[in-house]
Amino acid sequence: MSSLHHVASAAHRAGNASAAVSAGPAHQFQSDPVTVRRLLAPIGTQLSAAWRLICLWEQRHRDRTVLRSLSPRDIRDFCPREADAEEEMSKPFWRA
């Protein structure tokens, strides 16, 4: 037997039908700020992680676009092997 049924039965025996109604399911769904935060925290964490990943991908895309715009002479200034620069430029944004 559920606890709600116990409350309703006790209220009915006491002759107080309004107590049975007020102790009904609506009480179970009242929002407790701590509980709500605890339930929503994992969602916020996941959204934050997804946003950081999107920002990282955007940065990689920008960096590789700039790298493609440089002349071979500019690339040699910071990358002694041209093959390394070519490899980096050919990667998609989701690969590190």
Q: What is the pLDDT of residues 8-47, one digit of tens each?
A: 455 455 554 444 445 555 555 567 888 888 888 899 999 9
Domain count, the chain: 2
Same domain, residue pair 51 and 22: no
Do residues 41 and 24 both lie within one domain? no
Residue 82 to residues 46, 61, 78, 79, 86, Cα–Cα distance (Å): 39, 19, 10, 7, 6
Same domain as 96, residue 52: yes
pTM greater than 0.85: no
User: What's the mean pLDDT when you consider all of the chain?
Assistant: 79
CB 12 within 8 A of CB 20: yes
Contact by Cβ (8 Å): 17, 11: yes
Domain range spanning residue 44?
Answer: 32-96
**Statement to judge: residues 1 and 19 lie in one domain:** yes
**Statement to judge: residues 39 and 80 lie in one domain:** yes
93 and 49 assigned to the same domain: yes
Residues 47-88 have pLDDT tens digits of 999 999 999 999 999 999 999 999 999 999 988 888 999 999
